[in-house]
Chains A and B, each alone.
Chain A
Amino acid sequence: MLNEYLQVLKSEWLILAIIFILLFIKVGSKEWKNESLLYFINFLLLINLIAGFINNLPGSLFNGMYLSNDLIFLQKNILNLGVYLISLIAYPWLKEHKHLLEFYILMLSTLLGMFFMISSGNLLIFYLGLELSTIPLAALANFDLEKRKSSEAAMKLIISSAFSSAILLFGISLLYGVTGSLFFYEIAPAIHSNTLNTLIFILILAGFSFKISVVPFHLWTADVYEGAPVPVTAYLSVISKSAILFIFMTVLYSVFRNMETQWYFMIFLLSVFTILIGNLFAIRQNNLKRFLAFSSIAQVGFILLGLSGSSKIGMASVIYFLVIYLFSNLAAFGVVGLVSATTGKESIEDFKGFYKTNPFLSWVLAIALFSLAGVPPTAGFFGKFFLIMAGAERGNYVWIIFAALNMIISFYYYLRIVKAIFMDQNNSPIPAIKTPPLPKLAMVICLIGTISVGFLSWVYEYIFSFCNF
C-alpha cells in the first residue's frame, strides 16, 4: 500500500523532495555561492527528469481522485524537460539574483500543482492543482524586484487570474449541482447537451481559455509576458500552457464528450479569433517578449484546431506539437533571456545586425523562429502540419484554409525578425556576448530538438501509442 503511494506519486514526491532540499539550504547556516547552487539545482532537476522515465507505475489513488497512467507520465516528463531547460536558461539572470532559492521553490511549487492538476480525476483536486500552479506564478512574475513593470505584471496576473477562477468555480459548482458528483467518471455520463450544461461548459471553457490565452480571454498575456523576467515568461508560455492543455484535452474528450457538437463549434470560433488577433498584434510589436507573447497566442489557435480533431489523433498531434513548441520557444527565449540579462535590450530594433556580433545566438534564434513559423525542415513544420491534418479529419475546410492563410501572415512577421538579425545594418549592434555553459547546453538541446523531432518519426508514434482512452 505504502509502496503504491510512493510509486504512483513518484513525480510529485521527487518535486517535493527537491523543494525540501532547497528549503533546508535556505534555513541552513552554510553560505552557498549562487553559481555552485545553480549547478547543484540543475543537477537535481536533471535527476528528476531522468527518474521520470524509470519505473512508472500507473494507478489510481484516493478513491479515484488521483489518476496516473502512461499518458500522464509522458505529460509530466514533458513538463520536467521544460522546467529543466528553463532552469538552464535562467542561469545568466539568476547568477546575480539574491533570491535564487525562492525562485526555484516557487517555480517547483507551481510544477507540483500542475502535476496534481493533470493527474486529477476529481474536480476538487483539479481546482487545488490549478490554484497551486497559479498563485506562486504571480510571485514569480514579480521577481525582477526593482522593476516597476515586473510588479505591474504580477498584479495584472493575480487579478485577472482571480477573475477567471471565479468564473471557473461558478461553472464547477453548477456542474456539481447538475450531476451531483465531483468525479470525472461520474460526471461524464450525466452530461447531456441542454441549455444549462451549455452554460456550464462556457464558464469552464472561459476559465481554461484564460490560462492558455485564447482570444478574448488573452489580454493579460502581453503585459505579463513583457513585464515578467524572461525565464518566467518562458515558463508561462511553455510549461503552464502545456499543463493546462493536457488537462483541457481530458476534460473535453472525456468529461464533456456528450457535448462534442457544441464544443467543436465553440472551439472553432475561438480558434479563428485567436489566430487572427494573435497574428494581427504580433505584426506590430517591437518588444521581442511581447512579440513572442502574441506569437504564442496565435500558436494556441492552431493547437485548438488540432484539438478539434477526433480524439486520438487530435491528442497525439497536440502533444507532439507541444513538444516541438517547447523546444522552439525555449530556444528563442534562451537567446532573448541571455541578451536581456547581459545587456538589458529586448526590442527588435536592438537586434539589428545581431548576426555580425553573435553568429551562434543568431542562428539559434533564427532556427527557433523558423520553427515557430512552421518552415520545413524544422520540426515546427511537422507539428503544424499534423495539427492541420488532425483538424482536417472533420472536413471543416473553412477553418483549414483560414489557418493556412494565417500561417502565411505569420511568416511575414517571423521573417521580419530574421531579417533584422541577419540583414539589417546597425552601427551599434549588441556586443558579442559570451554564452555561459548552462544556457549553451539548453540552447544546443533545444536546437537539436527543433531540428530533429520532425524527422524522428518515433517521437510521434511514441506519443500516439499512449493516447488511448
Chain B
Amino acid sequence: MSHPIYIALIPLIPLACFFILGLFGRKYFSGSAGVIGTLSLLASTLLSLITAYEYFFVSGKSNGVFQKISVFKYTWLQFSPSLSIDMGILIDPITVMMLVVVTFVSLMVHLFSLGYMKGEPRFATYYGFLSLFTFSMLGLVLSSNIFQIYLFWELVGVSSFLLIGFYFEKPSAVAASKKAFIVTRFADLGFLIGILVLSFYSHTLDFGILIERLTNTGSPYLIAINSASFLGVSALTWALLLVFMGGAGKSAMFPLHIWLPDAMEGPTPVSALIHAATMVVAGVFLVARLFPVFALSDPEALQVVTYTGAFSAFFAAIIACTQTDIKRVLAYSTMSQIGYMMFALGVSKYSGEDGLGYMGSMFHLFTHAFFKSLLFLGAGSVIHMVHSNEMKDMGGLRKLMPITHICFLIACLAIAGIPPFSGFFSKEEILMAAFESNRLVYGIALFTSGLTAFYMFRLYYSIFWSKPADTHHAHHGEGTWTMKIPLMILAVLALFAGFTPIANWISADGAPIHSKVPITFSILPVALALGGILFATRLFITANELPGRIATQLGGIYKSALHKFYIDELYLFVTKKILFNLIGRPAAWFDKNIVDGFMNLLAKITGYLSDMIKGYQSGKVQDYALYFFGGVAGLVIAFIYLWK
C-alpha cells in the first residue's frame, strides 16, 4: 500500500485549482473556469477510485480485517514536550468511501453548474469556491488527528459560508450564510472544548493513539478521564457529547438544525454538494471516526446520539410535510435522513454482527449521497425552468422535462425505500439494527419511513403532475446536456448503488459483516412506504382545491358514490387536518419560533446588555479614574476580605 503522493493529490488538486481560479480566474479564465474546475475534479475522482480499488481489493486487508493505515504522518508542531500536533493522512474504509462520495458528487455538481451557472458574472469565483470547499471536505475525511480534522472542519464552514452567500446581492442569502456560519460556529465551540478535554486526558491528538488509549480497559488514561467528573457526569461523557455537539451542528441535528433550511438561499447545485452529500454528513463521519470510544467506553454518550438522531429524523419528516418551497422540503428531508444515520450509529455495537448499525449508517450515507444530490440537482433543473422555488408555480412538468422527471422519480423511490432502489437496502440495514437493539427507535424509524415516502411523493406530484403545465415554461429547454448528464449518472447510481457490497468492506472493527436481512422483515417498511406513496398519489396527483372539491361534492351528495366521498374525506381529514394542522404546523411553528428564536434571543440579550452598559464609557476622565479605583477596591475586597 501507501502511495502517499497520489492520495495527497486528491485534495491538493482542488486546492491548486482554487488558487489558480481565485487569483487569475477573473482575468484569464472567466469563460473556461468551469472546464478547468471540472477537469481537475475529474482527476481527483479518478484518483479516489484508484485509491478505493487499491484499498478494498489489493492492500487494505490483513488477516481478514481492514486496517487503519497511516499513509503519511508528519509532526507538524511540538506544542509542549508531551503533546505534539501532527498532520497526516489516515486511510480506513470510511475514509475511502467518503473520498469516492465527495469527489464524485462534487464532480457531478461541477458538471451540472456548467449549465446552471452559465452567464453568471462571477463564474470563475464560483468555481474557485467550489474547489475550496471540495479541498476542505477531502482534507476533513483524510485527517489523521483531531486537531487537523477541526481545522478542516472550520475551513469547510468558511467555504460553505462563501458558497451559501454567493448571491450576495440577495439580503436573504447574506443573512442565511451568516446564520449558517454562526450557528455552526456555536456548535463547534462544543467540539473545540471536547477536543481540549480529550487531549488533556489522553495526551495525544492522534486518532489511532487516542482511540487506543481511551478504549483499552485498564489504560491509565481511560481511568483518569472516567474518574474526573463535572456535574456528576464523567469527563469522557462530557468530551464525547461536546464533540457530538460539533457534529450535530454540522449535520443539522435538532436543535442545531436551524441554519439548514435558510441555507437553501445558496445556488442549488451548492445545496446538492453541501447539503446533501458532503458537509452535512461530516457530523456522522466524526461520530463514526470516534466510534470505538463511543461504543466501548461510553455507551451513555451513544444513547444521546441515538435519541438525538431518532428525534431529528422524525421531527424533520413532519416539518417536511408542510413546506411549500421545494428546496426546503429537501432540506428537511436531508435532516431526517441524517437522523437515520445518526441513530443507526447510536444503536450499533462495536464488533461482530452487532456492528450492523455502523455499517448501515455508512451504507445509508453512501446511497443517500447519490439520491439526495440527484434530488437537489433535479430541483435545480426545475427551478432553472420555472424560476421559482414554490410548489404552486409548478405542476405538470413531466412532459416538458422528461429526463428530469424520470431521474427525480427514481430518486424519490430510492429515498422512500422501495426495492430494488438503493435507499431500500441501506434503510433495511438500519431498521434491522434498530429492531434488534431498541424497539422504540425502531418504531419511530418505521413511522418516519412512511412519512418520508409521503412527503417525497407530495413533492414529486406537485412538481410533475398536479395540474397542466404552464405554457409559458415551454419555450425553455430542459437545460443543457451538461445538466442532464449528471442527473442520468446519478439516477443510475440511485438505482444500483444498493447492490454495492458495503457489508464486506465497512464495519466498525474492520471485519466483514455477514448478516442478511430476512425478506419477511422488509415487508412492513415497504408496505408503509407504499402506503405513504398511495396517500400522496391520492391527494396530489391532480390539483385538488380543498374548498372547491368539497363544495361540488356536497352539491351532488346524493348522486356521487357515498363511500368514495367518505374515503376522500377521511384522507383529507387525516392528512390535511391531523398531519398538517395538528402536528406539522405546530412543529414548524416551534421550529421557527422557539428553536430559532433561542438564537435570536441570545443576540437580543447580548445587544441589550451592550446597550445597558454603554453609560460607563462616559468620556470623562474623572469617571475613568473612579472606575479604576473601583477596580482596585473591588479586587482588594474580593481577595483580601472574601478570599479563604
Contacts and interface: CB of A to CB of B under 8 A. Distances in A.
Given A199-B636, A423-B165, A283 B77 contact: no
A409 interface: yes
Nearest to A355: B168
A160 B80 contact: no
A164 B628 CA distance: 8
B617 A381 contact: no
A281 to B, nearest CB: 7
Interface stretch (B406-414, B494-502, B543-551, B618-626): B618-626
Contact of A217 (B200, B628, B638): B628
Interface string A375-419: 111000100011011001101010011001101110110010001
A198 interface: yes
B643 interface: yes
A203 interface: yes
B178 interface: yes
B158 interface: yes
B614 interface: yes
A464 B78 CA distance: 9
Interface string B289-317: 00000000000000000000000000000
Given A202-B639, A284-B610, A377 B630 contact: no
Interface stretch (B101-109, B110-118, B188-196): B188-196
Interface in A139-193: 155-156, 159-160, 163-164, 167
Contacts of B24: none
B635 A422 contact: no
A216 interface: yes
Contacts of A370: 158
B154 interface: yes
Interface stretch (A49-57, A93-101, A121-129, A218-226): A218-226
B558 interface: no
A203 to B, nearest CB: 7
B628 A206 contact: yes
Contacts of B174: 419, 423
Given A202-B639, A400-B193, A457-B85, 5 more contacts: A210-B628, A219-B628, A266-B635, A370-B158, A407-B185
B610 A397 contact: no
Contacts of B603: 412
A432 interface: no
21 contacts: A167-B628, A199-B636, A202-B632, A206-B631, A216-B630, A217-B631, A220-B624, A223-B619, A280-B610, A281-B617, A283-B607, A376-B151, A376-B155, A377-B155, A389-B79, A397-B230, A408-B182, A408-B189, A415-B182, A419-B178, A464-B80
A107 interface: no
A182 to B, nearest CB: 23
A375 B154 contact: yes
Given A219-B627, A411-B181, A411-B185, A283 B636 contact: no
A388 B79 CA distance: 12
Interface of B: 76-80, 85, 151, 154-155, 158, 165, 168-169, 174, 178, 181-182, 185-186, 189, 192-193, 196-197, 199-200, 230, 603, 606-607, 609-611, 613-614, 616-617, 619, 621, 623-625, 627-628, 630-632, 634-636, 638-640, 643
Interface string A256-293: 00000010011001000000010011011000000000
A4 interface: no
A423 B173 CA distance: 10
Contacts of A223: 619
B73 to A, nearest CB: 14
A389 B80 CA distance: 10
Say whether chain B's binding surface is mostly helix, strand, loop, or mixed.
Answer: helix
A212 interface: no
A321 to B, nearest CB: 13
Given A219-B616, A412-B182, A457 B77 contact: yes
A3 interface: no
Contact of A269 (B181, B185, B197, B638): B638
Contacts of A381: 151, 154
A155 B193 contact: no
B609 A280 contact: yes
A381 B230 CA distance: 28
A314 to B, nearest CB: 10
Nearest to A294: B617
Contact of A216 (B158, B193, B631): B631
A256 B19 CA distance: 50
Contact of A408 (B76, B168, B185): B185
Contacts of B640: 195, 198-199, 202
Interface residues of A, number: 65
Contacts of B632: 167, 202-203, 206
Given A159-B621, A412-B603, A404 B151 contact: no
Nearest to A206: B632
B623 A404 contact: no
A312 interface: yes
Contact of A415 (B79, B154, B181): B181
A409 B185 CA distance: 10
Interface string A79-95: 00000000000000000
Contacts of A385: 192
Contacts of A203: 632
A253 interface: no
A457 B76 contact: yes
Interface centre among B193, B619, B623 (most CB of A within 10 A): B193
The 9 A-B pairs with the shortest beta carbon distances in the complex, nearest first, are: A457-B77, A216-B631, A219-B624, A280-B610, A376-B154, A423-B168, A404-B189, A392-B196, A202-B635
A333 interface: no
Contacts of A395: 200
A307 interface: no
Contacts of A412: 182, 603
Contacts of B79: 313, 386, 389, 460
A167 B631 CA distance: 12
Contact of B193 (A386, A393, A404): A404
Contacts of B611: 284
Nearest to B87: A457
A35 interface: no
Interface in A303-362: 312-313
Contacts of A461: 77-78
Contacts of B169: 425
A283 B609 CA distance: 11
Contact of A389 (B196, B630, B635): B196
A235 to B, nearest CB: 21
A239 interface: no
A375 B196 contact: no
Nearest to B609: A280
A411 B196 contact: no
Interface string A199-211: 1001101100110
A345 to B, nearest CB: 22
B175 to A, nearest CB: 10
A407 B621 CA distance: 30
A155 B621 contact: yes
Nearest to A284: B610
Nearest to B174: A423
Interface centre among B151, B607, B617, B638 (most CB of A within 10 A): B617
Contact of B621 (A156, A198, A262): A156
B639 A262 contact: yes
Contacts of A407: 185, 189
Nearest to B603: A412
Contacts of A408: 182, 185-186, 189
Given A408-B182, A412-B182, A460 B77 contact: yes
Given A216-B631, A219-B628, A269-B638, A277 B189 contact: no
A464 B84 CA distance: 13
A401 B617 contact: no
Contact of B178 (A210, A215, A377, A415): A415
Nearest to B191: A404
Contacts of A392: 196, 200
